Amino acid sequence: MRMNFCPNCGHKLEMGLIAYRERPMCKTEDGGCGFIDFGHYSLGAGGLVVREGPDGVRQALLIQRGEEPNKGGWTIPGGFVEFDETADVAVMREVEEETGLQTRNLGLAAFRNRANPGDNNSYVVFLLEITGGEIHTEPDPEIAQVGFFSLEEMRKMPRLAPLSYELAAAAIENRLRPFQATQVQGVNGAPPFTLYI
Ligand SMILES: [Zn+2]
Protein backbone atom coordinates (compact mmCIF):
# COMPACT_ATOMS: atom_id res chain seq x y z
CA MET A 1 0.00 0.00 0.00
CA ARG A 2 2.88 2.43 0.50
CA MET A 3 3.54 4.93 -2.25
CA ASN A 4 6.83 4.98 -4.12
CA PHE A 5 6.28 8.20 -6.05
CA CYS A 6 4.84 11.55 -5.01
CA PRO A 7 1.15 11.94 -5.99
CA ASN A 8 1.70 15.71 -6.35
CA CYS A 9 4.88 15.97 -8.43
CA GLY A 10 5.91 12.42 -9.34
CA HIS A 11 9.28 12.69 -7.58
CA LYS A 12 10.61 9.49 -5.96
CA LEU A 13 9.67 9.28 -2.27
CA GLU A 14 12.44 8.70 0.29
CA MET A 15 12.11 7.72 3.92
CA GLY A 16 12.47 10.56 6.41
CA LEU A 17 11.85 11.06 10.12
CA ILE A 18 8.60 13.02 10.55
CA ALA A 19 6.49 13.17 13.73
CA TYR A 20 8.51 10.48 15.54
CA ARG A 21 8.59 7.86 12.81
CA GLU A 22 10.07 7.08 9.41
CA ARG A 23 7.64 8.00 6.63
CA PRO A 24 7.84 8.18 2.83
CA MET A 25 8.36 11.81 1.85
CA CYS A 26 9.05 13.96 -1.17
CA LYS A 27 12.25 15.64 0.04
CA THR A 28 12.68 19.31 -0.88
CA GLU A 29 16.47 18.99 -0.65
CA ASP A 30 16.26 16.50 -3.55
CA GLY A 31 14.05 18.88 -5.57
CA GLY A 32 10.73 17.48 -4.33
CA CYS A 33 7.62 19.32 -3.16
CA GLY A 34 7.61 18.38 0.55
CA PHE A 35 4.67 15.93 0.44
CA ILE A 36 4.60 13.40 3.31
CA ASP A 37 2.78 10.05 3.07
CA PHE A 38 1.00 9.68 6.42
CA GLY A 39 -0.78 6.54 5.24
CA HIS A 40 -4.27 5.70 4.10
CA TYR A 41 -7.43 6.29 6.10
CA SER A 42 -11.00 5.42 5.11
CA LEU A 43 -14.38 6.17 6.63
CA GLY A 44 -17.62 4.23 6.28
CA ALA A 45 -21.05 5.11 7.65
CA GLY A 46 -23.97 2.85 8.57
CA GLY A 47 -27.60 3.69 9.34
CA LEU A 48 -29.88 2.18 11.97
CA VAL A 49 -33.55 2.50 11.08
CA VAL A 50 -36.06 0.90 13.43
CA ARG A 51 -39.83 0.66 13.07
CA GLU A 52 -42.66 -1.09 14.83
CA GLY A 53 -43.95 -4.03 12.80
CA PRO A 54 -47.66 -4.85 12.27
CA ASP A 55 -47.60 -7.18 15.31
CA GLY A 56 -46.03 -4.47 17.54
CA VAL A 57 -42.60 -6.13 17.42
CA ARG A 58 -39.71 -3.78 16.69
CA GLN A 59 -37.74 -4.37 13.49
CA ALA A 60 -34.52 -3.00 11.97
CA LEU A 61 -33.80 -2.17 8.32
CA LEU A 62 -31.33 -4.52 6.60
CA ILE A 63 -30.04 -4.92 3.07
CA GLN A 64 -28.67 -8.00 1.30
CA ARG A 65 -25.64 -7.27 -0.86
CA GLY A 66 -25.99 -8.13 -4.54
CA GLU A 67 -22.29 -7.68 -5.38
CA GLU A 68 -18.89 -8.75 -4.13
CA PRO A 69 -17.37 -8.27 -1.63
CA ASN A 70 -19.66 -10.27 0.62
CA LYS A 71 -22.29 -10.93 -2.07
CA GLY A 72 -25.39 -12.41 -0.41
CA GLY A 73 -24.42 -11.07 3.02
CA TRP A 74 -26.87 -9.02 5.09
CA THR A 75 -25.91 -5.76 6.83
CA ILE A 76 -27.44 -2.52 7.96
CA PRO A 77 -27.46 -0.06 5.00
CA GLY A 78 -24.51 2.30 4.48
CA GLY A 79 -21.28 2.76 2.58
CA PHE A 80 -18.12 4.80 2.22
CA VAL A 81 -18.10 8.50 2.99
CA GLU A 82 -17.05 10.48 -0.08
CA PHE A 83 -14.22 12.96 0.51
CA ASP A 84 -16.47 15.97 -0.20
CA GLU A 85 -19.39 15.12 2.11
CA THR A 86 -19.82 14.71 5.85
CA ALA A 87 -20.59 11.32 7.38
CA ASP A 88 -24.19 12.19 8.32
CA VAL A 89 -24.92 13.34 4.75
CA ALA A 90 -23.23 10.17 3.41
CA VAL A 91 -25.32 7.81 5.50
CA MET A 92 -28.63 9.43 4.52
CA ARG A 93 -27.55 9.35 0.85
CA GLU A 94 -26.54 5.67 1.07
CA VAL A 95 -29.72 4.66 2.90
CA GLU A 96 -31.84 6.35 0.24
CA GLU A 97 -29.82 4.84 -2.64
CA GLU A 98 -29.91 1.35 -1.17
CA THR A 99 -33.42 1.21 0.30
CA GLY A 100 -35.49 4.09 -1.17
CA LEU A 101 -36.18 5.54 2.29
CA GLN A 102 -35.50 9.17 3.18
CA THR A 103 -34.29 9.71 6.72
CA ARG A 104 -33.28 12.24 9.32
CA ASN A 105 -30.27 11.94 11.65
CA LEU A 106 -31.13 11.32 15.32
CA GLY A 107 -27.51 11.12 16.45
CA LEU A 108 -24.21 9.27 16.38
CA ALA A 109 -24.81 5.83 17.87
CA ALA A 110 -21.52 3.92 17.50
CA PHE A 111 -17.91 4.15 16.34
CA ARG A 112 -15.76 1.23 15.18
CA ASN A 113 -12.09 1.66 14.30
CA ARG A 114 -9.63 -0.89 12.91
CA ALA A 115 -5.99 -0.57 11.82
CA ASN A 116 -5.98 -2.89 8.77
CA PRO A 117 -2.66 -3.41 6.96
CA GLY A 118 -2.38 -0.37 4.68
CA ASP A 119 -5.71 1.18 5.69
CA ASN A 120 -6.85 2.61 8.99
CA ASN A 121 -10.62 2.17 8.65
CA SER A 122 -13.35 3.76 10.74
CA TYR A 123 -17.07 3.12 10.67
CA VAL A 124 -19.57 5.49 12.23
CA VAL A 125 -23.16 4.46 12.82
CA PHE A 126 -26.11 6.84 12.98
CA LEU A 127 -29.57 6.33 14.39
CA LEU A 128 -32.00 7.49 11.71
CA GLU A 129 -35.71 8.21 11.54
CA ILE A 130 -37.78 7.73 8.37
CA THR A 131 -39.14 10.95 6.89
CA GLY A 132 -40.37 9.72 3.50
CA GLY A 133 -39.79 7.53 0.47
CA GLU A 134 -40.89 4.03 -0.42
CA ILE A 135 -38.89 0.90 0.29
CA HIS A 136 -37.39 -0.63 -2.88
CA THR A 137 -39.19 -3.75 -3.97
CA GLU A 138 -37.32 -4.31 -7.25
CA PRO A 139 -33.83 -5.78 -6.84
CA ASP A 140 -30.96 -3.77 -8.31
CA PRO A 141 -27.46 -5.03 -9.15
CA GLU A 142 -25.92 -3.72 -5.92
CA ILE A 143 -28.71 -4.61 -3.49
CA ALA A 144 -30.45 -7.98 -3.79
CA GLN A 145 -33.09 -7.44 -1.07
CA VAL A 146 -34.23 -4.82 1.43
CA GLY A 147 -36.44 -5.37 4.44
CA PHE A 148 -37.31 -4.86 8.09
CA PHE A 149 -36.57 -7.77 10.41
CA SER A 150 -37.20 -8.60 14.04
CA LEU A 151 -34.42 -9.87 16.31
CA GLU A 152 -35.93 -13.35 16.18
CA GLU A 153 -35.73 -13.32 12.37
CA MET A 154 -32.17 -11.94 12.46
CA ARG A 155 -30.97 -14.78 14.68
CA LYS A 156 -31.95 -17.21 11.88
CA MET A 157 -30.07 -15.29 9.16
CA PRO A 158 -26.79 -17.16 8.58
CA ARG A 159 -25.18 -14.39 6.49
CA LEU A 160 -25.97 -11.45 8.79
CA ALA A 161 -22.79 -9.55 9.75
CA PRO A 162 -22.19 -9.93 13.52
CA LEU A 163 -21.56 -6.19 13.90
CA SER A 164 -24.86 -5.38 12.17
CA TYR A 165 -26.66 -7.80 14.48
CA GLU A 166 -25.12 -6.18 17.59
CA LEU A 167 -26.05 -2.70 16.40
CA ALA A 168 -29.58 -3.65 15.30
CA ALA A 169 -30.20 -5.46 18.61
CA ALA A 170 -29.09 -2.39 20.57
CA ALA A 171 -31.37 -0.16 18.48
CA ILE A 172 -34.38 -2.49 18.71
CA GLU A 173 -33.92 -2.89 22.48
CA ASN A 174 -33.51 0.90 22.95
CA ARG A 175 -30.01 0.51 24.41
CA LEU A 176 -28.38 3.20 22.25
CA ARG A 177 -27.53 6.58 23.76
CA PRO A 178 -26.67 8.55 20.61
CA PHE A 179 -24.59 11.71 20.67
CA GLN A 180 -26.58 14.66 19.38
CA ALA A 181 -25.53 16.62 16.30
CA THR A 182 -24.88 20.33 16.81
CA GLN A 183 -24.05 22.68 13.93
CA VAL A 184 -21.05 24.86 14.75
CA GLN A 185 -20.01 27.93 12.74
CA GLY A 186 -16.54 27.74 11.21
CA VAL A 187 -14.03 30.47 12.01
CA ASN A 188 -11.86 32.46 9.57
CA GLY A 189 -13.95 31.46 6.55
CA ALA A 190 -13.91 27.70 7.29
CA PRO A 191 -17.18 25.90 6.53
CA PRO A 192 -19.51 25.01 9.42
CA PHE A 193 -19.06 21.58 10.97
CA THR A 194 -21.15 19.09 12.90
CA LEU A 195 -20.17 18.36 16.50
CA TYR A 196 -21.52 15.20 18.16
CA ILE A 197 -21.69 15.70 21.89
ZN1 LIG B 1 6.26 15.86 -4.52
Tell me the residue range of the domain where 64 lies: 41-176
User: Does 89 reside within a domain?
Assistant: yes
Examine the domain organization and report whether 134 and 91 are in the same domain.
yes
Distance between first and last Cα of the chain: 35
**Residue 25 Cα, ligand 1 centroid: separation in angstroms?**
8
**Residue 39 Cα, ligand 1 centroid: separation in angstroms?**
15
The secondary element (H helix, E strand) that includes residue 94 is helix 87-99
Phi, psi of 29 (to 5 degrees): -70, -20
**Residue 29 Cα, ligand 1 centroid: separation in angstroms?**
11
**Residue 80 Cα, ligand 1 centroid: separation in angstroms?**
28
Residue 137 has pLDDT above 90, yes or no: no
Examine the domain organization and report whether 141 and 122 are in the same domain.
yes
Amino acid letter, residue 84: D
**Residue 114 Cα, ligand 1 centroid: separation in angstroms?**
29
pTM attached to this predicted model: 0.90
List beta partners, residue 194: 183
Examine the domain organization and report whether 141 and 49 are in the same domain.
yes
How many domains does the chain contain in total?
2
- Kindly report, residue by residue over 43-79, the tens digit of the pLDDT: 999 999 999 998 999 999 999 999 999 999 999 999 9
Separation of alpha carbons 46 and 135, rounded Å: 17
Examine the domain organization and report whether 57 and 29 are in the same domain.
no
